[in-house]
Structure 1
Amino acid sequence: MANGSIQYHALKTRQEGASSPPSRSRSPSPISTSRLPSRNKSRISIAKAILLVSVSFMVLALVHVSYSATYENGAGSSPTTGNETPIEIEHHQQQQQQQKQPPVVQAPVEPVAPPGTPQQEPPAEPAQPPAEIGSIISDTDLTTTYRYENGTEIRLFKPNFYKNGPAAKKELGSFLQTLATRSWVVHRPEHKTQEDAPGEEEHENDDQEDDNQDQNAVPGRYFAYLPMGGGNNQFTSLQKAALLAKDLKRTLVLPPISPNSHIKTWAGPRYSQFYDLESFTQKSGIPVLEWHDIKMTPEEVPGGFGRQWEEFSEDLPCTPNGGIGVSPTSLYDKFRQQFLLKYVRTVVPEDKTEGKSTEYNYARDVLLRDKVVAAPAPGTTPTSPTPANGVIAVDPNMWKCLTCPYFLGGANVSPRTWAEVGVHLRFNEKTEAMVDDILDVLLGPAIEGEPTTTAGPVVPSSSTGTKGAFRPHPQFIIIHLRRGDIVNKCPAGMAEKDCIVQIEAIADKIDEIEKARRTVALESLKKTMKDDDPASDGRNYVHKLLPVLVTTNEQRREELDKIDRLGWILLDHGNVEKDEKGQVKPSMTKKLGTESKFGPWYPSMLDAVLLTRGDYMIGMQNSRMSILATQRGAAWHGHKTMLM
């Protein structure tokens, strides 16, 4: 195999170091009759020598065959000392067995042939997992599944998987069957520490309230949705879907952060890669299950597979909403590709709008009343009381799905989505630590005696249960300057300065922030000095400006030059560039190399975290990312945030 786990053994075919006598070159000459007898004697001597050597080799070969037969039949112990341990004997026996095998030649990987091309399938070989993966629990022609010691499973896909759609679908199984047989796991709520609790009795009451909240979802009932748009629009969909799951008393089945027009990959990462989902469940009372946990599918696929993925897909029953999914052509999410799901519109007689409503309460009530089974498990019918053909019948009430919660609205929906969902979905410790690393590079450590960032403690770690803390850094201002595609959305005929906020206007706002800071500092200074002190009027006070960080998708050079002249620090996740001589090109920014180190999903995600950490944050009213950042920064850390 490619990783070298198979041992290769070469057979010894000739005597090492043996060589034939050097040949001589002689010029032609007439034969002398007087020398014939000596030549004949020489030839006879050579023949005798050859015969003697041949007989010797035959005798040695017979002895070797006799000895090998005796040893392999168990009559001998070891070809060495005869005093080996059982382990050493077994090792020698394995060596003897391996030497009888012909040399192993690694076959090259065959390219994926077009569908319908007859091929001779190679014998199945287990895919090689990383070293830390545990035992094989399933190995077929198409996949190999491994299980970690903690119970987590991972499935590796072989090239044969992409050659047979029906067989691949059968082997992957149905996610509905997985849910039907899944053991329900209750996430225990987070409680107050002993220091925070005034008394044991009050602490016990808190336990009871939290347990009731945690039991909000009915075991074995699930709600899923289809994501849409960029990462921040997907987060908006998540918040509304989580609120629906809470109202429906169901576990939320969470898709990954899906590929979109900004990040064009086949597969997207789990939310748990960046967010602390366990803490979210403990605080919100909304259990969460990720799609990765109910269906293991390929995260990297052959190039041509993108044109045939539906051949490998199982049906995904889902109710259309907001006009999305009324017809299959109206779907534009990439999540279904990653998990090989073919959308099937669920017929809901109660929905008189035929899937076009955007009213939250209406969608919730339709889902509450709907008792239709859209796609029964294979071998069952919607009314099957018992399993058929060994397949577990799916409870008609187990599965609910909505195509597009993003457009849902109505009275009090937005405040609820933030207060009951968004405020509890915080970044995990690993992601926050990566942002600390960036601040170390851009701002350096906190200077003794100067104010530091006022970020609060990190949420408790789901793995350690302990509270970490942000590293102290100098206070700073951060700007989210949404440009790029926003500029292209300006109405026809409208000047850009009337459509989007200009950098000069943002600079004026920062001047206002600094004037207010200076006033506060002078008032504090006066309180510590006597009236007759010459410094009490502030004439000797030197006001130190805060560093300004900018995250933006602006690409125009003239706009970037404005940022540079103002002395602001532009966040740049790119790599250093070199010229043809290998010399590093000068740059106005410090290259962080985020994408090359961690992948395409990290730059925007780390920017989102950075926006919450600035003591002052300025965002754009027309940006969903800015809106989320102002909510997070204010609620989590008490920072001053504003939209322009």
Structure 2
Amino acid sequence: MAALTLVALSFFAFHSAPTPLEIVSENIEPPRSDRLDALLGPPTQKFRDNLRNDTEYMTSWISAGWTNDVMTFGNLIYLAMITERVPIVGNFTPSHIGGDAGTIPFGEVFDMDYLSRTIGIPVLEWNEVKDPNSQEVEELGCWSVWQAVQTRESQPRFTNAFELEKLDISWTAGPLSLQKIPGFEHDPHAHFWSIAALTYPSVRERYLQEPIPSPVNHVSLPPDEHLACFDYLYYVCAHESFEYEHDLSPAWRFVAKHFRWTPRLQTMADGYLRRMFGVPEDGVIPPYISIHARRANDFAVYCGDVPRGDCFPTMNVYARRIADTQEELRARYGIVPEHVIMLSDEQDPAWWDAVRLMGWYTPDHVAEDTVNKYGRWYPLLVDAVIQSSGMGLLGTDRSTMSLLAGRRVEDWNGGVFKMVKWGTAHADDHRRAWIPDAI
């Protein structure tokens, strides 16, 4: 920890700064931190020309849905923290919203300066290191964690980010001992320190083997020591597999908890909330409970032979859960949120009619013209901010988007987060009515 502090002080002159919720105008930007002092200057045609000789770096890439990618970047940054390196994150890719949506920078979603100041190390973006318009293809040697922790694929984990960043990568397969349970096909997790050890010379030399030639220039390079890099870091944990589900998760507690929305994005979502609730532009947004109901085909496929109407929670199930959440908030804070927002990927108009009959709200991205005003990413992003800004969240069990939204509600707002079970008609009936710990 002392070493991390020294690393941080070498880059930062720390000072307090407003949080996203304290900045109310889209035209006000937070002050620039000194995190870019971790680079030699503005983006260069070759990334190596912008890296400092007195600093070590780390990067990895994403290859899943947006929320899983957020978690992956959280893992990357935590891994960089414990190895005293500067993490470099890339753009989010549109795996769930259509490839034609294009990528979006991490820093357009999350406040980079706030994050760097809060966790105590600089966090960089690839577009700050290398000019996004550069056509220079650079060779780089990296470790493949993916080859070491699963048995279904023999190649490193692929992502088009390599092409976007013009990287020609030569991979070295990590040792099979990286896997949490070596050889167990049902759990591809590795421990943070098993991977971290590969960045230290004594361990690195022990596990070096013949690299795979790069696809463009066909060069064979050992893993780079200045810029340590790994193909895929979603399945990484300190103790428990799928660790973000547990309160002990260090990647959440020390990193991803501090992925605060940019002031612009928070202000944008606040505007949607005020218009939904009929609150004046400068009025106070009332406390509310949001529901994140995953119902699209990627979840419905797990219903099997159970009819859709029995598989997913009914309005009555949600109403019962809302009442429990209201009671818990009343006991905890003396408030009973009356406003409820439904956020869902459901396409059936009749289902949405039933939502409106319940008196619940939902953002209208068609009427708001969200896509034309801001882009294809923004319905998803506005919904995510709305989920995180309430006093309660009812999530969909097994949804990582619900999971992270609930973590934000709990840790940012001191709110209540519950997962709603699904899969059969009575899947959620196991729950007990909430009882205070102390009367």
TM-score (norm 1): 0.49
Distance 2:155 2:286 in 1: 51
Change (3 A) 1:241 1:498: farther
- 1:568 partner SS: coil
User: How far 1:259 sits from its partner (Å)?
Assistant: 2.5
2:398 aligns with one of 614, 617, 622: 622
Distance 2:221 2:146 in 1: 27
Task: Say whether residues 1:500 and 2:331 are aligned partners.
Answer: no
Matching residue's letter, 2:265 = T
User: How far 1:633 sits from its partner (Å)?
Assistant: 1.1
Task: Say whether residues 1:553 and 2:345 are aligned partners.
Answer: yes
Change (3 A) 1:429 1:616: same
Q: How do residues 97-108 of structure 1 correspond to structure 2 at under 5 angstroms?
A: none
Task: Say whether residues 1:176 and 2:48 are aligned partners.
Answer: yes
Matching residue's letter, 2:297 = D
Change (3 A) 1:495 1:232: same
User: How far 1:293 sits from its partner (Å)?
Assistant: 1.2
Matching residue's letter, 1:178 = N
Matching residue's letter, 1:340 = K
Distance 2:61 2:76 in 1: 9
Change (3 A) 1:594 1:220: same
Which residue is 2:259 aligned to? 425
1:473 aligns with one of 285, 290, 301: 285
User: How far 1:359 sits from its partner (Å)?
Assistant: 1.7
Matching residue's letter, 1:606 = V
Which residue is 2:197 aligned to? 365
Distance 2:259 2:332 in 1: 34
Which residue is 2:37 aligned to? none
Distance 1:286 1:520 in 2: 35
Which residue is 1:333 aligned to? 159
More relative contact order, 1 or 2 (CA 8 Å, 6+ apart): 2
2:138 aligns with one of 293, 311, 314: 314
Q: Is the 8 A contact 2:145 2:173 kept in 1?
A: no
- 2:302 partner SS: coil
Distance 2:332 2:71 in 1: 37
Change (3 A) 1:329 1:322: closer
User: How far 1:520 sits from its partner (Å)?
Assistant: 9.5
- 2:237 partner SS: coil
Q: Is the 8 A contact 1:174 1:314 kept in 2?
A: yes
Matching residue's letter, 1:442 = M
Which residue is 2:122 aligned to? 287
Change (3 A) 1:254 1:430: same
Distance 1:318 1:265 in 2: 29
1:601 aligns with one of 338, 358, 377: 377
User: How far 1:479 sits from its partner (Å)?
Assistant: 1.1
Report the count of equivalent residues. Answer: 357
Which residue is 1:566 aligned to? 358
Q: Is the 8 A contact 1:633 1:641 kept in 2?
A: yes
User: How far 1:417 sits from its partner (Å)?
Assistant: 1.0
Which residue is 2:226 aligned to? 398
User: How far 1:153 sits from its partner (Å)?
Assistant: 5.4
1:435 aligns with one of 245, 258, 269: 269
Task: Say whether residues 1:250 and 2:250 are aligned partners.
Answer: no
Q: Is the 8 A contact 2:149 2:189 kept in 1?
A: no
Distance 2:129 2:104 in 1: 15
Which residue is 2:299 aligned to? 487
User: How far 1:347 sits from its partner (Å)?
Assistant: 5.2
> In the TM superposition, what whole-angstrom CA distance separates every residue of 1:184-237 from its partner, at most 9, and x where no partner exists?
xxxxxxxxxxxxxxxxxxxxxxxxxxxxxxxxxxx4201100111111000110
Q: Which has the larger radius of gyration?
A: 1
Matching residue's letter, 1:336 = F
- 2:98 partner SS: coil
Any unmatched runs of 5+ in structure 1?
Answer: 1-150, 155-171, 182-218, 300-308, 384-394, 448-469, 525-542, 575-590
Distance 1:557 1:347 in 2: 49
Matching residue's letter, 2:198 = V
Matching residue's letter, 1:176 = R
Distance 1:273 1:514 in 2: 34
> In the TM superposition, what whole-angstrom CA distance separates every residue of 1:108-165 from its partner, at most 9, and x where no partner exists?
xxxxxxxxxxxxxxxxxxxxxxxxxxxxxxxxxxxxxxxxxxx9858xxxxxxxxxxx
User: How far 1:382 sits from its partner (Å)?
Assistant: 8.3
Deviates most, 282-291 or 365-374:
365-374
Matching residue's letter, 1:604 = L
> In the TM superposition, what whole-angstrom CA distance separates every residue of 1:349-394 from its partner, at most 9, and x where no partner exists?
x555699863213222233322569799x9x9989xxxxxxxxxxx
Which residue is 2:417 aligned to? 641
- 2:306 partner SS: coil
Distance 1:631 1:516 in 2: 17
Which residue is 1:411 aligned to? 239
User: How far 1:409 sits from its partner (Å)?
Assistant: 2.7
- 1:434 partner SS: helix
Q: Is the 8 A contact 1:225 1:401 kept in 2?
A: yes
Which residue is 2:388 aligned to? 612
- 1:323 partner SS: helix
Q: Is the 8 A contact 2:148 2:177 kept in 1?
A: no
Change (3 A) 1:283 1:492: same
Q: Is the 8 A contact 1:319 1:401 kept in 2?
A: yes
Distance 2:257 2:92 in 1: 19
User: How far 1:336 sits from its partner (Å)?
Assistant: 2.2
- 1:346 partner SS: strand
> In the TM superposition, what whole-angstrom CA distance separates every residue of 1:400-455 from its partner, at most 9, and x where no partner exists?
111111011341654111111112221121111111211221113379xxxxxxxx
Distance 2:368 2:318 in 1: 25
User: How far 1:497 sits from its partner (Å)?
Assistant: 4.8
Matching residue's letter, 1:345 = W
1:342 aligns with one of 165, 168, 171: 168
User: How far 1:616 sits from its partner (Å)?
Assistant: 2.1
